[in-house]
Structure 1
């Protein structure tokens, strides 16, 4: 008995194992169960209501299907908007061109191309509305060309079927073991500070290697974009998170500002270590240890609301200690008669460190404010502004429009009975793959999933379904297929196979209210689907595929232009637009260059360069905007004229990178530093008291960035 009890796990171990299973495989099984409940509920209602096409109900349900309820609600909302837009446009086209199939298909292709371009432009759930506006128009319009006299009623039936599928998915997702987006958002917010604290502590200690730093930069950029999408989704499911939407946006913006400040400080410290500036590093070390030791204590710890309030108090005390240590370090450096460059290095690093502590304090305060339903920090007008390449969006739209035209011409010229399915599948494939960074890979996955669905569908349709009697047996037979598709969807790397299996299995193999067992039609329909998918794969490989150098270079140019915008755009909202735009561009380009580490490293180098110079320019412009009305700060002072000349030189450099332009910009920066340092100012020459000292720090940081031997600006 005793030996048996020794082999059995105790209650605590069993609970821990169950909790771990629930957080991993348990989520997958819950998702599969919810998929089956959604599918069979929607199918039963479609049969019970005698809808003409029950398969449309299930296709709608499967397309909306997501693991998190907030994503389902957001996707459903925009799908309904897209469906109504597609219905309106298609009814108009049918009324105008019902007797002219060529003009009708031309208008449809233009509309679908515009919708696909809009989807590539937005890349969030608004993109889904654009996709559905195009797909729904084709789904309604193509069959209507065969019977234009019943087009309006067919359109209404399609809208009812789509709406029923959406409602079933939303209700099941929200009521049965809901996996809320708000919980995912809070978990992500709680965890990311602990990860960043460990990264920053290692950087201040000097133990952060370049590879880890680059990987962290790419991950942080992706997290910033993902959290903004999650924030938008939570508004659909959680009124408490909707009340905190402004603070959540502020928190994401402050985190981006915080990571940019750390990046600037880390790069400056790396340069000091590379050129062995021992005197500056020695006096700075106590200041670095002060902040680094505080952050090290939070490494790996989730930051709850109460913890954030405690962290804010810690940082407030740390900032007071830090200022005293900086003044003491400045005095020590002054006794050793440092060079002018060492003084500038110290002042720049000390100011970056102090402002980094201030950004940490602001972030902790905003995080702590989430505990209250209402708070003054909710009033936040800055917005996350994603950036999309107009040419890439136009190419995606053109590719989809060409697929519709080719499919339509083939249909008209051959009078193929399954030509409507061929054209409809082309649109759906192009729409689904347009937002993917690798449309070739997604199209191929959808094709293979459809091929699997065709195999299973043929066996079920002609060997199993004729022998069944009753809805329960039908569910029993369909359950393995739906479960397999849901399992594939739950794995991001295999989701294309799952979508292809579920969607096209339902389109071609799901029995209608009046079941038909016609092998000729069945094979013809699947042949049309597979041929159109093959055509979509070829189009994605031939017509300017996005994961190729032409788009990497365009996005790299867009990234460089962010510095130009920091110089020329209005100051209001500039910081948040710069932070979010650079990260969104990097996230897009980094994903498109997957499998090309050399390209990814180059993109990261440009990201670092842009962040360094752009951030310093924004700080410089803020400083000039807040100058007192005193003669030595006047617009016509030589130091301000020199800064304007520097701005023009930097614009030229980032538009046309090269060694000559870099040297010209470097000379302009050094001239601006000289003019600023030689301007009389009746204030103590420290960054906490002197605007000109702070200006020198920003200019010196730009200078060190331009002198970096690894800078991509050298050409």
Structure 2
């Protein structure tokens, strides 16, 4: 009897539900709609200025706004900067090509195709806002150069008009973004930095505290790869808008570098301990029991007095003091523990030495990373002095394929244009060349082009209705703007939804291209249909070229990147030591990010690539540290190692690159034998006789690096394991099921 009353009493009033729903919308959807209104307003402003200045094609200014507009002001400024540079370079190329080949259209088209191919290659090689400058350099040649080649007398006028229209669009986008509900990049950058620091502190505590298995650690490392690249992209944009970020740019770059080095150390230590757990030898358990207590001491150093993990820069400053004290005492304590060990083999002692050395390096890198994070609140700091920039690593092979594809596509459409006399053939050619460049960096360019084509088909139908039914009734700019606003808002809103962004992009760019009139409006149905067909043909041919001409989604492209990934170890063996560690770290992670993007729907292929990534990181990083240590020995104490040891180490430096260049049973056996021989030579150099502590420590560090390389080569979960004799019959322990410590 009382149940209905209870239900009524606990149900929230309708007004409260409405306020809650409105609050939720305000929190989640408000930024999206602010962005939509800002973008449409900036576009309409650019269009109005274009008409006022009597520009030939004001719609180009409108389209420029849609191309450069981004949620954050810094991104707009960065993209606009490279767009202006690309347009200016492309304009110079137009003058040169038209001057050389104006009387021979065939040679002009061939030269334009080569130029656009080179620009597309540059775009694919850079893969950031700089890539957009390369796209515009090629696109400007197509957009301005093709009409100018037909009418050489208008070349200069066309070039100046093009630059002016783009400048108007960029200026409107920048002004509106900065003045109307501005959204800066800096707060997002701060959130990412704090979130990543906290997440990594948690990961270190869980990893060394004994609650993370290998699969979770691999997944975290894969996620951190995206974070590293995303943070660098956001930093390079934020410096355009915020002087505070510019003052800290060196520290932000430094944090990224220290983060990469630290994550590699943590993963290496975790893998070494996993291998010890998988070992059936009783001495392995002794080593684990001896080193594990040190691991459990790390997490309290990264915890506030309240028991919560370190989050803010102020908390990090306190944690840095704790880490410094711990790092100072760690070598003495480890030596005492080592002296108490009763191990029956040199290999077991090597395991302990290697684990303790890796632990010390983890603490050292963590201390440096924490110090840099703690320094961020200060406008000026000594840690700002950091000139080692993040170095991406793009395969020249894939970039060359992208450039060749764009050039071939342009040549095919240009040949059809010349042979058929198609009035809108130039539109088809220039748009195909542009989209070959724009979508070449997408994980699946053919799919991306198909989604844009669907948006273009919708824009064609809507544009026809606008052009021939609404615009003839428009009286002046304000009525035109009112008619265009609903369609433009729909298009921009679609771009904010990842699932529909391709459709929105097609409408944003090509609806204005088809429906917005020039200063001298022409209502030509045949011309409209010709241009619409040309757009659809260009996108169709582009999609086909991506599916036929060495498509990026094939396994072959992944294998090319995988080979480039393994080549990182070759560079680690022979590259100049100055800044080599940073180049190695950033290049390896950048290649892994590319492979991750290409294998999103192929988990088996991705898993193999992940295996090579971690094998490359482990072996390559150990090689660099080994070379650094040996360089110090050769410089300060060349007699510390005998000639036989130097020869053995040089032999190892030859066999490791051969293994990663051509991984097979023979190269694996040679590398393992060379590593074992180098270990024996260094052990003999250490000997049982007395040495000064610093000398013995240097030799033991050298031995630890060699031993870690050996354990990485023998890792049962590494792709190299399949090349080991008897691996097919082995039954390796799945160390991912348990934690290292």
Query: What TM-score results when the alignment is normalised by the length of structure 1?
Result: 0.94
Following superposition, the deviation at residue 214 of structure 1 comes to: 2.1
In 1: Cα distance, 2:433 partner to 2:487 partner: 25
Deviation digits for residues 141-195 of structure 1 (CA, Å, limit 9, x no counterpart)? 1222333222211221111111111111111112222222222222111110111
Indicate conservation of the 8 Å contact 2:201/2:310, yes or no: no
Give the corresponding residue for 1:130. Answer: 134
1:49 equivalent to 2:67? Answer: no
Q: Give 1:411's match in structure 2, choosing from 396, 406, 417.
A: 417
SS of the equivalent of 2:486 reads: helix
Deviation digits for residues 332-355 of structure 1 (CA, Å, limit 9, x no counterpart)? 4x2x34432221111111111121
Give the corresponding residue for 2:237. Answer: 233
1:573 equivalent to 2:579? Answer: yes
Q: Give 1:703's match in structure 2, choosing from 710, 713, 719.
A: 710
1:117 equivalent to 2:111? Answer: no
Give the corresponding residue for 1:286. Answer: 293
- Which piece of structure 1 moves more, 391-400 or 226-235? 226-235
Give the corresponding residue for 1:538. Answer: 544
Trace 1:450-599 onto structure 2 (pairs within 5 A): 450-599=456-605
Indicate conservation of the 8 Å contact 1:265/1:353, yes or no: yes
RMSD: 2.5
Give the corresponding residue for 1:77. Answer: 81
Indicate conservation of the 8 Å contact 2:47/2:58, yes or no: yes
- Which piece of structure 1 moves more, 126-135 or 340-349? 340-349
In 1: Cα distance, 2:615 partner to 2:693 partner: 27
In 1: Cα distance, 2:308 partner to 2:546 partner: 42
Q: Give 2:673's match in structure 1, choosing from 657, 667, 677.
A: 667
- Which piece of structure 1 moves more, 571-580 or 403-412? 403-412
Structure 2 unpaired stretches of 5+: 1-7, 724-741
SS of the equivalent of 1:516 reads: coil
Indicate conservation of the 8 Å contact 2:645/2:678, yes or no: yes
Q: Structure 1 residues 533, 358: closer, same or farther in 2, change over 3 A?
A: same
1:342 equivalent to 2:348? Answer: yes
Trace 1:89-104 onto structure 2 (pairs within 5 A): 89-104=93-108
Give the corresponding residue for 2:447. Answer: 441
Deviation digits for residues 641-691 of structure 1 (CA, Å, limit 9, x no counterpart)? 221111111121111111222122112111111111121477679799610
Q: Structure 1 residues 16, 510: closer, same or farther in 2, change over 3 A?
A: closer
Q: Structure 1 residues 683, 500: closer, same or farther in 2, change over 3 A?
A: farther
In 1: Cα distance, 2:154 partner to 2:346 partner: 84
Structure 1 unpaired stretches of 5+: none
Following superposition, the deviation at residue 83 of structure 1 comes to: 0.5
Q: Give 2:219's match in structure 1, choosing from 215, 218, 221.
A: 215
- Which piece of structure 1 moves more, 194-203 or 346-355? 194-203
Give the corresponding residue for 1:309. Answer: 317
Q: Structure 1 residues 610, 23: closer, same or farther in 2, change over 3 A?
A: farther
Indicate conservation of the 8 Å contact 1:73/1:236, yes or no: yes
Indicate conservation of the 8 Å contact 2:43/2:63, yes or no: no
SS of the equivalent of 1:679 reads: helix
1:156 equivalent to 2:160? Answer: yes
Following superposition, the deviation at residue 462 of structure 1 comes to: 2.4
In 2: Cα distance, 1:684 partner to 1:463 partner: 94
Give the corresponding residue for 2:731. Answer: none
Deviation digits for residues 477-498 of structure 1 (CA, Å, limit 9, x no counterpart)? 2222111221222233432222
Indicate conservation of the 8 Å contact 2:453/2:506, yes or no: yes
Following superposition, the deviation at residue 299 of structure 1 comes to: 10
In 2: Cα distance, 1:25 partner to 1:306 partner: 33
In 2: Cα distance, 1:21 partner to 1:626 partner: 61
Following superposition, the deviation at residue 309 of structure 1 comes to: 1.2
In 1: Cα distance, 2:189 partner to 2:333 partner: 38
In 2: Cα distance, 1:44 partner to 1:17 partner: 35
Trace 1:606-645 onto structure 2 (pairs within 5 A): 606-627=612-633, 633-634=639-640, 636-645=642-651
Q: Give 2:367's match in structure 1, choosing from 358, 361, 364.
A: 361
Q: Structure 1 residues 37, 300: closer, same or farther in 2, change over 3 A?
A: farther
Indicate conservation of the 8 Å contact 1:632/1:680, yes or no: no
Following superposition, the deviation at residue 202 of structure 1 comes to: 2.2
Q: Structure 1 residues 660, 293: closer, same or farther in 2, change over 3 A?
A: farther
Q: Give 2:611's match in structure 1, choosing from 596, 600, 605.
A: 605
Indicate conservation of the 8 Å contact 1:290/1:318, yes or no: no
Following superposition, the deviation at residue 623 of structure 1 comes to: 1.3
Give the corresponding residue for 1:329. Answer: 337
Indicate conservation of the 8 Å contact 2:38/2:180, yes or no: yes
Deviation digits for residues 8-59 of structure 1 (CA, Å, limit 9, x no counterpart)? 6999x979984x7566322211211111111111111111112110111111
- Which piece of structure 1 moves more, 149-158 or 488-497? 488-497
In 1: Cα distance, 2:324 partner to 2:14 partner: 47
In 1: Cα distance, 2:177 partner to 2:308 partner: 32
Give the corresponding residue for 1:251. Answer: 255
In 2: Cα distance, 1:15 partner to 1:368 partner: 39
In 2: Cα distance, 1:616 partner to 1:295 partner: 27
Give the corresponding residue for 2:5. Answer: none
Indicate conservation of the 8 Å contact 1:191/1:301, yes or no: no
In 2: Cα distance, 1:426 partner to 1:302 partner: 51
Following superposition, the deviation at residue 639 of structure 1 comes to: 2.1
SS of the equivalent of 2:192 reads: helix
Deviation digits for residues 361-402 of structure 1 (CA, Å, limit 9, x no counterpart)? 100111122222222112223222111111111111111111
In 2: Cα distance, 1:683 partner to 1:498 partner: 74
Q: Structure 1 residues 208, 26: closer, same or farther in 2, change over 3 A?
A: same
In 1: Cα distance, 2:62 partner to 2:636 partner: 71
Q: Give 2:392's match in structure 1, choosing from 386, 391, 406.
A: 386
Following superposition, the deviation at residue 205 of structure 1 comes to: 2.9
